[in-house]
A and B are shown apart, each in its own frame.
Chain A
Amino acid sequence: MTATVTPPAAGSRTRRATPTGDGPPRPGRQTGRHLLLGGIALLWLVPLLWAVYTSLRPYEDTAKHGYLSWPHGISLENFSNAWSQSGMPHFFWNSVLITIPAVLGTLLFSAAVAFFVSRFDFRWNIALLMFFTAGNLLPAQVLITPLYRLYLQVPLPGWMSDSFLLYDSVWGIIAIHIAYQCGFCTFVLSNYMRTIPKEITEASLVDGAPVWRQFFQIVLPLCRPAFAALATLESIWIYNDFFWSLALIDTGDKRPITSALANLQGQYFTNPNLIAAGALLTAIPTLLVYFALQRQFISGLTIGSGKG
């Protein structure tokens, strides 16, 4: 498997037509396997289903009869309360304002570095790629103290941040996401770009096309499948971020939804029904993205590891 890459193209997901070396499938074994896998799958869904069940029951009902009881009425009231009482729409909007620029920035930056590393033969290419890849593997806690101080030192104009600092501003969160996530995307995209034959760009070089044109008009459009996979994966990761916004945003009102959820917990921690509803509401965007773009999501995860 020397430097091979499984492209996330549709073709790679199709199953092999021939059964593998297990001989013809025996009916008895198949049933056993279905029982095993079905049981495990159901077990895996229990926590999520329990959260759904809890969130659908009115607080009074569970307070009177206990949580492990038959429902005496099901309603969406907890969802509407969590939505309206804790300002969730506002926090969702914060998440959107962080996630979209951060994903676009990450993809653009990492595409540029990947383009350079994979299409030009400079001496430091491998070192550069390793440098980016390793950056993504550093634990966030190792960076946080100096980053926190740095954010307190960098002034921003008032129209960008009402703290007048990079600290406590959406810009700061976007910046760290881009810098931190670039490593993974560069790694994946450079593998992907190597699968594009050099002749394609070399032909355009011979024709006298400048490098920027190669990048924007040839390489970027050809990477569309990899972009789709990475965009799906990164939007879920960045949306799900907890640590950066907890450490680098001071004003609760500016936090994205995932870390704002912690406030909801503090406010309503005696009402698990409401917390369940809040947690599920928070998870809805990622679940929707996952179900709609499952193939992209998984290939995004696995093109990073399909190489060895």
Chain B
Amino acid sequence: MSPVRTVRPAPPSKRARPRRLGPGDRVFLTVIVGIPLLALLVFVWLPALASVGLSFTNWDGIALSDIRWTGLDNYREIFTNYPPFWPAVQHNVVWLLFTALLPTPFGIFLAYQLDRKIRFTRIYQTAIFLPMVLSLAVVGFIWEIIYNPDNGLLNGILSGAGSGQPIDWLGDPDLNLWAVLVASAWRHTGYIMILYLAGLKGFDPALKEAAALDGANGRQTFLRVVFPALKPVNIIILVVTVMESLRAFDIVYVLGGGTGSKPGMELLSLLITDNIIGESSHIGYGSALAVVLLVVSLLAICAFLVQTFRKEDK
């Protein structure tokens, strides 16, 4: 284990240290912190706040003078009278559950296997992590030539095995979400594996040895000793999984043919894009959808921040 203990000043020395910053130093610090802060405010936080504001308006996105305050109308409309909304929520939930229950534990399992002292670890690791290096758009194109109903690999294998009708993996609303989820899991597993492997490398081997002395087998050691001890990494993995599931966009967009949401593949991120980019833009609508996504994301973000910064605030 090789983490370096962070040097935190003891509380008394904090107070005792006199301010030695001259005016030049203050100007320098203000400038180097002020510029990034301004960029963050203007390009990230103000747009996020403005989305909240726009969600209470009715706007076609053309002239600013056309903005009309409509209160909660957009939200009422979305929740009660916008057909793709509930399917999208449902698909986002399916996405989250699928990712949390299959590729995430599988990535952890692979990391645990790779952490043993065996040969070729690097090769296995590289192969499984490789999809993570590709852009989601490229991943989409690669899977398209697998799922293609006429000349894709999957139907080729199935028809070779004697199945008659070609299956339209990406066109069938009952199937396409699962097809996309498989492609997404292909990428997600390696990510989780690498994160967990990093956690395992920082794990104290003495704990495992103690468990082995007590007669615990491999599975017991993992479930009772290793997994609970890696709580910080587990939380990061949970946040990554939730955030990636909420943000899912590129791969669905590409596999859906690059035309926004398709039946069976509606997701919140795609509905927002549908409403704000394109011929008839419903900015108010799109923003209200964005706020729904924002609220759910903020729950995950807060959980992450609380876990990460709790100790430092003391």
Query: A276, B113: Cβ atoms under 8 Å?
Result: no
- Which of A30, A44, A132, A306 makes the CB contact (< 8 A) with B40? A132
Identify which of B75-83, B94-102, B169-177, B203-211 touches chain A. B203-211
- Chain A 243-262 interface 0/1 with B at a Cβ cutoff of 8 Å (1 = within): 10001000000000011011
B126 at the interface (CB under 8 A from A): yes
B313 to chain A: closest CB distance in Å?
A: 6
A179 at the interface (CB under 8 A from B): yes
Dominant secondary structure at the A interface: helix
The answer, yes or no, to whether A178 is at the interface (CB within 8 Å) is yes
Query: In residues 132-158 of chain A, which contact B (Cβ within 8 Å)?
Result: 132-135, 137-150
Task: Contacts A179-B43, A305-B233, A308-B231 given; indicate if A21 touches B212 (C-beta within 8 A).
Answer: yes
Given contacts A37-B110, A138-B297, A282-B138, contact A143 B44 (CB under 8 A): yes
A contact residues around B239 at 8 Å (CB): 137
Whether the pair B22, A210 counts as a contact (CB closer than 8 A) is yes
Q: Is the CB of A51 within 8 A of B6?
A: no
Contact B44 A283 (CB under 8 A): no
Decide if B37 is an interface residue (CB 8 Å cutoff): yes
Kindly identify, within residues 1 to 55 of chain A, every residue whose CB is under 8 Å from any CB belonging to chain B: 1-7, 11-12, 15-16, 18-23, 25, 30, 33-34, 36-38, 40-42, 44-45, 47-48, 50-51, 54
Known: A142-B294, A143-B51, A145-B283. A1 touches B232 (CB 8 A): yes
Q: Which residues does chain A contribute within 8 Å of B213, judged by CB atoms? A: 21
B interface residues, how many (CB within 8 angstroms): 129
A13, closest chain B residue (CB): B201
Contacts of A121 in B (CB 8 A): 9, 14, 17
Chain B contacts with A in 239-270, Cβ cutoff 8 A: 239, 243, 246-247, 249-250, 253-254, 258, 268-269
18 A-B residue pairings within 8 Å (CB atoms): A22-B208, A41-B124, A50-B145, A67-B153, A109-B36, A131-B40, A138-B297, A139-B243, A143-B43, A144-B290, A179-B42, A180-B43, A195-B4, A198-B7, A239-B135, A243-B250, A247-B273, A265-B254
Known: A5-B4, A308-B232. 6 other contacts (CB 8 A): A21-B209, A21-B211, A33-B116, A128-B37, A137-B304, A212-B25
